[in-house]
């Protein structure tokens, strides 16, 4: 793969000015006056959002705790892993543990960061941080009043099958599962080699 960048690595756009044109507690829209790579003036709108975390939670018996979540924006029910924004003052791990507890009532023995990506780099500057949580014990979730979701325990193999088959319409949840796939398959192999005794 060629790592050489166009424009000699320099930034092809020039920003003349920036202003916030709309905001809410969760994100804001920044409007920039720019000069495009071909030298023309233009306007670029960017959604500014805090970083966010996605967590793939696995119980000791090899089940993935997923949520079936209603999303008003697309008027659809979506399979997802627990996720949420990093709040001011939180570390990434603190945010991941807080979202795990809030959405599925989960606490984890181990939490491992497995990757990070821009979640919608055409319109938004949000960075998604992906975690694998193992040894997860479920309790009572603490859903916000706007959250409408059911919690489901799904075997690792089935969760991965759903991700590969396109049955998980939330792209970032699919990405989290696929990025965790090597570790999830190792967990499955260990459980098969060391089955729990009654």
pLDDT digits (tens, 9 = 90+) for 87-128: 999 999 999 999 999 999 999 999 999 999 999 999 999 999
Residues 94 and 181 in one domain: yes
Provide the mean pLDDT of the chain.
93
Bridge partners, 70 (sequence order): 77
Asked, for residue 119, whether it belongs to a domain, the answer is yes
Task: Specify the pLDDT at position 7.
Answer: 65
Q: How confident is the model at residue 20 (pLDDT cuts 50, 70, 90)?
A: very high
Torsion 160-161-163-167 (CA) sign: negative
Query: Is residue 180 a part of any domain in this protein?
Result: yes
Q: If we measure between CA atoms, which residue out of 163, 168, 99 comes closest to residue 130?
A: 99
Residues of the chain above pLDDT 90, percent: 85
* pLDDT at residue 8, as a whole number: 67
How confident is the model over 140-163, as a mean pLDDT?
91
pTM for this entry = 0.90
pLDDT > 70: percent of the chain: 94
The domain containing residue 146 runs over which residues? 52-193
Strands 52-57 and 127-134: parallel
- As given in the structure block, the two tokens for residue 187 are 């967990």
Residue 34 lies in a domain: yes
- Centre a 10 Å sphere on the Cβ of residue 115 and count the other Cβ atoms it contains: 14
> Above 90 in pLDDT, residue 197?
no
Same-domain check for residues 44 and 129: no
- 64 and 131 share a domain? yes
Instruction: Indicate whether 93 and 133 sit together in one domain.
Output: yes
Binning pLDDT at 50, 70 and 90, where does residue 142 land? confident
Band the pLDDT of 66: cuts 50, 70, 90: very high
Residue 198 lies in a domain: no
Sign of CA dihedral 161, 162, 167, 168: negative
Look up the CATH number of the domain holding residue 83.
Answer: 3.90.79.10
The structural domain count of the chain equals 2
Does residue 19 share a domain with residue 115? no
Looking at residue 3, its pLDDT comes to 58
Strands (E), the chain: 14-23, 27-35, 41-49, 52-57, 63-71, 76-80, 83-85, 106-107, 110-118, 127-134, 137-138, 149-155
């Amino acid at each position: 793969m060629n790592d050489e960048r166009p424009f000699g690595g320099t930034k092809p756009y020039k920003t003349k000015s920036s202003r916030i044109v709309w905001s809410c507690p969760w994100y804001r829209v920044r409007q920039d006056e720019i000069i495009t790579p071909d030298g023309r003036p233009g306007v670029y709108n960017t959604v500014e959002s805090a970083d966010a975390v996605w967590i793939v939670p696995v119980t000791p018996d090899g089940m993935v705790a997923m949520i079936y979540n209603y999303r008003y924006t697309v008027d659809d029910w979506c399979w997802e892993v627990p996720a949420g924004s990093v709040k001011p003052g939180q570390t990434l791990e603190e945010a991941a543990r807080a979202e795990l507890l809030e959405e599925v009532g989960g606490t984890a023995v181990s939490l491992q960061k497995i990757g990070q990506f821009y979640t919608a780099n055409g319109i938004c500057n949000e960075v998604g941080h992906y975690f694998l949580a193992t040894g997860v014990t479920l309790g009572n979730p603490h859903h916000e009043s706007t959250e409408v979701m059911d919690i489901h325990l799904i075997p690792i193999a089935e969760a991965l099958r759903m991700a590969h088959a396109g049955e998980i319409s939330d792209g970032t949840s699919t990405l989290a599962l696929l990025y965790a796939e090597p570790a999830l398959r190792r967990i499955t192999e260990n459980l098969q080699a060391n089955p729990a005794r009654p």
